[in-house]
Amino acid sequence: MAKIALKVDVDTLRGTREGTPNLGRTFDRLGIKATFLFSMGPDHTGWALKRVFRPGFLKKVSRTSVVEHYGIKTLLYGVLLPGPDIGREAAKEMQAIDRAGHETGIHTWDHVDWQDGVRYRDAAWTKAQMQKSIDRFVDVFGHSPLTYGAAGWQMNEAALEQLDAWGIQYSSDGRALPNLVPYRIAFGHGKSKHVQYPTTLPTFDELIGVDGMDALGAVRHILSLTQSNPNDQVFTLHAELEGQKLLPAFECLLAGWLDQGHDLVTMGELHQSWAATKQLDKIAVLPLTWGEIPNRSGELMIQPAN
């Protein structure tokens, strides 16, 4: 059957300290390796409150119980409480995941600042944010990141070009339909050296609460998309959600995928399989494109029609 790459986005201090070890224990018990993408700088989750005016945001948070998943303290970071430095305060949890053999990469420096601003920021701001994230990553792990995955599926052209400057070979920064077709980014001067592997499957928080769907209903829906599906997929989960309250449901999803015969892999393993058999030098070159995903507010980087 197909490969399903497990991409864990770690957004907050709580997600790093609590959700990440929980997921690590689950993966260890099942003999699975995943890709963990860490937010390396300050946790300013409280800044996200300004999204209340964004179309669809209130509907989303009412469905997914943000307070219950993230906690009051996290939602006050950057508002009534100073934003803690995740890379300094949770370095041990990050290092433990790396030592356990999971793939580690960069999610962002400041999650909310990046997600809400990068699309409209200039190259200087973008490169400064990315430089802080890689400096901290090397300080924490003692090696360069293997991959990258944009916070909130938000990028700009300068950020995509910086991935090439870093020597990143593969990244997962956008979204696509549930049949993976990797591609390169079209720049004015040519094409990206790195390959994009977009998230193809819906996330738990995009499904729970839709038409009364609960967590196990979301599991059944996702499994219906991968049942007898020969195409590779990328699934994004969050340490704050599937690593905490939604962990039992996520374990059901993992068991379902294994029963379906899928190979659960890291982003690196997915890339290696495509490099070995799919002739990546012949894949499509597509422009940076924006669009909407059902049940998620705002526009995201999406894979355009080939």
Write down the pLDDT at residue 173. 98
Q: What is the mean pLDDT of residues 125-139?
A: 98
Q: 3-302 belongs to which homologous superfamily?
A: Glycoside hydrolase/deacetylase (3.20.20.370)
Region of 99 please: left (phi>0), alpha (psi -120 to 50) or beta: alpha
Q: State the pLDDT confidence band at 179, using cuts at 50, 70 and 90.
A: confident
Q: What is the mean pLDDT of residues 41-51?
A: 67
Q: Decide if pLDDT at 4 tops 70.
A: yes
Per DSSP, what are the bridge partners of residue 235? Answer: 6
Residue (of 150, 158, 243, 238) closest to 196 by Cα position: 150
Please name the residue that has the structure tokens 């995509």: 160
% residues pLDDT > 70 (the chain): 88
Q: State the pLDDT confidence band at 49, using cuts at 50, 70 and 90.
A: low
Return d(Cα 27, Cα 110) in angstroms, integer: 27
| Residues across the chain | 306
User: Measuring CA to CA, how many Å separate 130 from each of 119, 183, 197, 288, 300?
Assistant: 14, 22, 20, 19, 19
Return d(Cα 297, Cα 60) in angstroms, integer: 7
Say what the pTM is: 0.90
User: Measuring CA to CA, how many Å separate 167 from each of 90, 158, 176, 203, 218?
Assistant: 26, 14, 24, 29, 37
Return d(Cα 275, Cα 271) in angstroms, integer: 6
Three-state DSSP class for residue 250: helix
Give the pLDDT confidence of 197-251 residue by residue, as tens digits: 999 999 999 999 999 999 999 999 999 999 999 999 999 999 999 999 999 999 9
Query: Which own/partner contact pairs does 48-56 have at CB distance under 8 Å and 24+ positions apart?
Result: 48/112, 48/116, 49/75, 49/79, 50/116, 51/116, 51/297, 51/298, 54/297, 54/298, 55/297, 55/298, 56/296, 56/297, 56/298
Return d(Cα 25, Cα 47) in angstroms, integer: 31
Q: 287 Cβ partners below 8 Å, 6+ apart? A: 185, 186, 304
**Diameter of the chain by CA atoms?**
52
Write down the pLDDT at residue 213. 96
Return d(Cα 52, Cα 59) in angstroms, integer: 10
Please check whether residue 15 is in contact with residue 247, taking contact to mean a CB–CB distance below 8 angstroms.
no
Give the pLDDT confidence of 84-97 residue by residue, as tens digits: 899 999 999 999 99
Q: What is the mean pLDDT of residues 108-128?
A: 95
Residue with the bigger pLDDT between 265 and 48: it is 265
Return d(Cα 223, Cα 226) in angstroms, integer: 5
Per DSSP, what are the bridge partners of residue 44? Answer: none
Residue (of 302, 303, 298) closest to 115 by Cα position: 298
Please check whether residue 31 is in contact with residue 61, taking contact to mean a CB–CB distance below 8 angstroms.
no
